[in-house]
Amino acid sequence: MFRSPSSSTAPTGSTGSTAPAGSRRPRRTAVLVAAVAAAASLTAPAVPAIARTLASAPAPGPPKPLVKQPVATGYGGAVSTVDTEASRAALDVLKDGGNAMDAAVAAGAALGVTEPFVAAIGGGGYMTYYDAKSRRVHAIDGREFAPGRMRADSFVDPATGKALPFDQAVTSGLGVGVPGTFAQWDLALRRFGSRDLDDLLRPAIRLADRGFVVDQEFRDQTAVNEARFRDIVPTRELFLPDGRLPEVGSRFRNPDLADTYRELAKRGTKWFYEGRLAEEIVRTVAKPPVDHAATRIVRPGLMESRDLAGYRALMRKATHVAYRGADVYGMPPSSSGGSTVGEALSILSNFRLDGRDPATALHYYLEASKLAYADRGRYLGDADKVDVPLEEILSSGFARERACLIKPDEAAAAPVPPGSPDGSYEPCVPPGTQTRALAFEGPQTTHLNVADRWGNVVAYTISIEQFGGSALTVPGRGFLLNNELTDFSLQPPPPGGPADPNAPGPRKRPRSSMAPTLVLKDGQPKLALGTPGGSTIITTVLQILMNRVDLGMDLPTALSFPRATQRNTPQVFAEQIFIDWYGRDLAARGHRLEVFPGPPAGVIGAATGLEILRPGLVQAVAEPVRRGGGSAMVVRPVR
């Protein structure tokens, strides 16, 4: 499918490498820790045996109520999500003659039931879509935007002049952006779907009515939120039935959400954005339904009815870079996913990555990430509101100028300064003097991929930001509202400093790292990929692409391989098994590796992907272990 690593273009005065040291299949932190103990005395060449061990390692705790299959290969269409019920909903649509966009919306609605802490209709997301009829890639922006009354200092406490404590910004009406998911579904189906929304909501309605079996992951996510959920009356009533955490093996029902979906199926988008539901959302944001006995500070938000009425999902031009003979498409601003993945790939294209020397290749990956994140922090924001030099950031000239700063045997001290994507590029430039701190992004998101029998492909990332979003449930409606506005830079820059492209502002979309990615070869789709993980999304997608394209790993191995993330911070955060395998060699080059603090601790991302192996034959791939494992399905499996 892809050009072999040996045919890559060599850089100016550089050598490099990266090896398919094999596959490890992590997803629950305890499994990762156990795997590390088993692998501690082994070197990278022994990885395949360890990968087999990890793949078969049982997750701790009670057995899962549903069997999740992480890899499926076959014909007629394919889907990969984090959840079996959502994958089944999409697969049923495909079997019934629906197309990829139809199936993606059905899966998204089902995830709103089974993954309510990350995928509610109170949030937003991004889609990239390959349309087989026109042979074009489209980007569909369903990102939330800020209310019209939002200002650059809206998150600043006037008493201190400092940004609000982060937990107070999150659990508040102030952090709630105008939801974009439902408008995005409506736009996507009108442009590319073949089924009506009411048909596609039916599987999720049935699921919400009958309920699903609680697994350990759902209970753990509820437990993380227990204290704040108890303080918000409708949230406590919904997610802490009888005042207790849901038990593993019990059935969780959400009849309020089923009724909300029924009304949406009947009344459509206008009811959500201009009708009664809009009024209820605004009331919840303006007067958070906090228990009178609670001591938690839950600030009201700035949202008004006109903000919901003015929301529109948007068609965007996807980002594009050429890489090793393939075309990589991603999400443009306000997402930084497409631009930062694209810039890092363009930097890496200046180096030959050799699977026989994995430590050197990983060194280049970490250094390219470091440089791309520096530029992300300086230049990326909502391109409808600020000037983003996107074309120059993705240009080969800028990439070579940045690549020349990478030393083959020495890591640059982080944070590194941003470059100057000004169209005038020298072979090398001296380091600058300014950089910007990495803003916090919650890692709790979800991603799904769908391909149909006609060759259409969707990569779709959905989020309400934190696990549990703002913790504000719209009373009687069964869904949580997001806290996506905390993705803005909460503290204004100091006087005289450069303007922050991600400062809050009216009707502005906060910067995101979501990176639904499509890869084409000779004009035909080959890969679809994405992951949750906040600002680690970009490095996870980048590392999987490098594993697959440069290192010759198959997609299941590339996706389950140990991960590290470098986001222009002094430390490289990594999964423990990555440190065990590569830590010594990378430390010798000056990298400081530490275990990723989470949440969840020690686990980076929870990716899903699919690959078209040949015309009609698709392999769907999900995590085997990380965060409980994912679910891959195909219409007609290969026996």
Strands 124-131, 136-142: pairing kind: antiparallel
Helix, coil or strand: residue 584: helix
H/E segment holding residue 301? none
Dihedral-angle region of residue 212 (phi above 0 means left; psi in -120 to 50 means alpha; beta otherwise): beta
* 445 annotated active-site: yes
* Alpha-helix runs per DSSP H in 500-610: 537-545, 555-560, 576-588
Report whether 108 belongs to an annotated binding site: no
**Pick from 32, 116, 74: nearest CA to 614:** 74
Task: Look up residue 586 and give its two tokens.
Answer: 């990378």
Report d(CA 544, CA 327) in Å as an integer: 15
Report d(CA 243, CA 606) in Å as an integer: 30
Chain-centroid distance of CA 373 in Å reads 16
Helix, coil or strand: residue 87: helix
Q: How many residues does the chain have?
A: 639
Report whether 497 belongs to an annotated binding site: no
Report whether 512 belongs to an annotated binding site: yes
* Number of Cβ within a 10 Å radius of residue 45: 11
* Number of Cβ within a 10 Å radius of residue 588: 13
Given 84, 360, 445, 540, the catalytic residue: 445
Report d(CA 211, CA 619) in Å as an integer: 29
Q: What is the DSSP letter of 405?
A: T
Q: CB within 8 A of 256, min separation 6: which ones?
A: 238, 476, 477, 478
Report whether 215 belongs to an annotated binding site: no
Report whether 487 belongs to an annotated binding site: yes
DSSP calls for 155-193: TEETTTTEEPPHHHHHSSSTTPPBP-HHHHHHHHHHHH-
DSSP calls for 483-510: -GGGGS-SSPPPTTSPPPTT---TTPPP
For residue 85, give the amino acid letter.
Answer: E
Give the CA dihedral 399, 405, 408, 413, nearest 10 degrees.
Answer: -120
Specify binding-site residues for L-glutamate: 143, 487, 512-513, 534
Q: Which residues are catalytic?
A: 445
